């Protein structure tokens, strides 16, 4: 009797676990009917599907199954949401897909077979908006990326056999991007750009045959011209002479030039390149090691340029005033001028070329998403491009518009740089 009882117990346990194993076995059909879909909304390169979820505690997730570029993919959405997104298509054609509900035993409901037609893909938008023009040492390209998705931007050039060879892979997620691709000699070259996305799609290739402009670094040392221009800040803090701005020592501890805090007037400086140059870019390093956004580093500035100075105008001091500095009270001794309405009808800005308002790359809360980005700016300097339409100049006048995220305080006028380097074409006529 005991033996019989034991055998029966074993059989019952075996039957229980066998049944449990069968219940827990993943896959198979679920008796539930198909999910009820509310709406399918096309998006760039995909679609968003909204649906009604049944009141079933055994429901685990909703899954879409579809084919892209010859491979099968699935997208899953938890029971805490009533929508699912399919994306990654570089086609405008109809995309079929199946929609399932899946329970906690990984069993699928009856499939619901649907289709959508995606809007234009993001790499197609980027490619169709791409503009390429010759630039200094290469080309300048700009494009649109309305959803700020990350692209790989592949720059290629044709070799002597006519084959496209990759020269640079640049990654971007900016809504409006402008990128200078450099490092090429001033000879006719066929450049090509193609966009690639994270789903493995590659756009059509855009070609441009052009000759890059000649570019070189303007030889240092430059000359300090501050003392000649009225209202320039001529102070040097603790013996840190402005000549340290062109000694090619960068990203070191406290090396560069600072103004005397509260000890001098003006938020401008003027340098003499000693030759006429069609400028391509200005590169500025911060004053402290690994410093970009903090301390008294310039984070925004406005630049003006001139090929030849009329020295007779140096005696006309109000002619050299800047309305921003007047309004912010960054200048003392204004020769009786207290309001911008008292500025002369003609100032230096009517005779000098405008070289642009320049700002350091911006990030949320002034912090790069990747800390390495700030370290790269500190090591390599921040590059500011000069408008291509600007003519050749010899003198550059820089006005500080922001330090460490704020306007230079009135009267204080404290700001700094570690190094300034100027690039361009110095083969232009020197007259």
Q: What three-state secondary structure class fits 191? A: strand
Number of continuous H segments (helices) and E segments (strands) in the chain: 4, 24
pLDDT digits (tens, 9 = 90+) for 390-425: 999 999 999 999 998 787 777 788 899 999 999 999
Alpha carbon distance 397, 198 (integer Å): 44
Given a contact cutoff of 8 angstroms between Cβ atoms, the answer to whether 251 and 375 are in contact is: no
pLDDT digits (tens, 9 = 90+) for 365-398: 444 555 777 888 889 999 999 999 999 999 999 9
Domain 216-425 has CATH 3.40.50.720: no
Residues 77-105: what's their mean pLDDT? Answer: 95
Residues 144-153: what's their mean pLDDT? Answer: 93
Given a contact cutoff of 8 angstroms between Cβ atoms, the answer to whether 400 and 301 are in contact is: yes
* Domain 36-116 matches domain 122-210 at the CATH topology level: yes
Q: How many CB atoms lie within 10 A of CB 329?
A: 13
Cα separations in angstroms, 43 against 40, 88, 298? 10, 10, 41
Alpha carbon distance 92, 376 (integer Å): 40
Percent of the chain with pLDDT over 70: 91
Reply yes or no on whether the pLDDT at 19 is more than 70.
Answer: no
What does the domain layout of the chain look like in residue ranges? 36-116, 122-210, 216-425
Reply yes or no on whether the pLDDT at 13 is more than 70.
Answer: no
Reply yes or no on whether the pLDDT at 244 is more than 50.
Answer: yes
Q: What is the pLDDT of residue 179?
A: 92
Residues 165-194: what's their mean pLDDT? Answer: 94
Residues 41-45: what's their mean pLDDT? Answer: 97
Q: What is the pLDDT of residue 38?
A: 96
Q: What is the CATH number of domain 122-210?
A: 2.60.40.10
- The mean of the pLDDT values for the chain is 89
pLDDT digits (tens, 9 = 90+) for 172-186: 888 889 999 999 999
Q: What is the pLDDT of residue 132?
A: 98
Of 150-164, 202-216, 285-299, 367-381, the range with the lowest mean pLDDT is: 367-381
The model carries a pTM of 0.78
- Residue whose pair of structure tokens reads 């791409």 in the numeric block: 130
Residues 306-333: what's their mean pLDDT? Answer: 92
- Which tokens is 301 given? 């500035």
pLDDT digits (tens, 9 = 90+) for 217-232: 999 999 999 999 999 9
Reply yes or no on whether the pLDDT at 73 is more than 80.
Answer: yes
Cα separations in angstroms, 121 against 83, 95, 198, 279, 423? 21, 13, 12, 38, 38
pLDDT-based confidence at residue 26 (cuts at 50, 70, 90): very low
Q: What is the pLDDT of residue 253?
A: 85
Cα separations in angstroms, 308 against 155, 273, 422? 39, 12, 18
Q: What is the CATH number of domain 36-116?
A: 2.60.40.10
Strands across the sheet containing 206-210: 164-172, 151-158, 189-196, 206-210
The CA radius of gyration of the chain, in Å to the nearest whole number, is 32
């Amino acid at each position: 009797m005991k033996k019989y009882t034991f055998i029966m117990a074993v059989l019952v346990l075996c039957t229980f676990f066998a049944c449990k194993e069968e219940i827990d076995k993943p896959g198979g059909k679920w008796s539930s009917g198909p999910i009820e879909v509310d709406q399918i909304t096309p998006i760039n390169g995909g679609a968003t599907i909204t649906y009604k979820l049944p009141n079933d505690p055994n429901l685990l997730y909703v899954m879409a199954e579809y084919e892209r570029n010859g491979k099968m993919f699935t997208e899953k959405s938890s029971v805490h949401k009533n929508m699912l997104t399919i994306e990654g298509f570089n086609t405008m054609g109809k995309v079929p897909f199946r929609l399932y509900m899946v329970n906690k035993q990984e069993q699928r409901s009856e499939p619901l077979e649907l289709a959508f037609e995606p809007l234009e893909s993001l790499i197609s938008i980027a490619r169709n908006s791409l503009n390429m023009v010759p630039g200094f040492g290469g080309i300048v390209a700009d494009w649109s990326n309305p959803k700020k998705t990350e692209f790989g931007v592949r720059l290629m050039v044709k070799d002597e056999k006519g084959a496209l060879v990759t020269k640079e892979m640049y990654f971007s997620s900016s809504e409006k991007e402008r990128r200078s691709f450099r490092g090429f000699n001033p000879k006719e070259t066929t450049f090509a750009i193609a966009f690639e996305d994270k789903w493995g799609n590659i756009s059509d290739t855009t070609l441009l045959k052009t000759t890059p402009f000649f570019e070189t670094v303007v030889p240092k040392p430059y000359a300090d011209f501050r003392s000649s221009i009225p209202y320039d800040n001529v102070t040097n803090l603790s013996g840190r002479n402005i000549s340290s701005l062109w000694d090619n020592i960068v990203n070191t501890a406290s090396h560069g030039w600072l103004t005397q805090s509260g000890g001098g007037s003006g938020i401008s400086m003027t340098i003499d390149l000693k030759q006429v140059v069609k400028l391509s870019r200005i590169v500025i390093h911060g004053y402290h090691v690994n410093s970009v956004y903090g301390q008294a580093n310039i984070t925004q500035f406005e630049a003006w340029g001139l090929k030849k100075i009329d020295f007779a105008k140096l005696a006309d001091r109000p002619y050299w005033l800047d309305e921003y500095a007047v309004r912010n009270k960054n200048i003392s001794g204004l020769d009786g001028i207290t309001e911008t309405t008292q500025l002369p009808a003609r100032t230096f800005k009517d005779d000098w070329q405008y070289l642009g308002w320049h700002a350091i790359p911006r990030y949320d809360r002034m912090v790069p998403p990747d800390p390495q980005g700030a370290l790269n700016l500190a090591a390599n300097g921040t590059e500011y491009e000069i408008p291509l339409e600007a003519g050749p100049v010899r003198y550059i006048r820089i006005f500080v518009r922001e330090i460490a995220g704020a306007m230079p305080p009135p009267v204080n006028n404290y700001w700094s740089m570690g190094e300034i380097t100027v690039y361009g074409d110095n083969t232009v006529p020197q007259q």
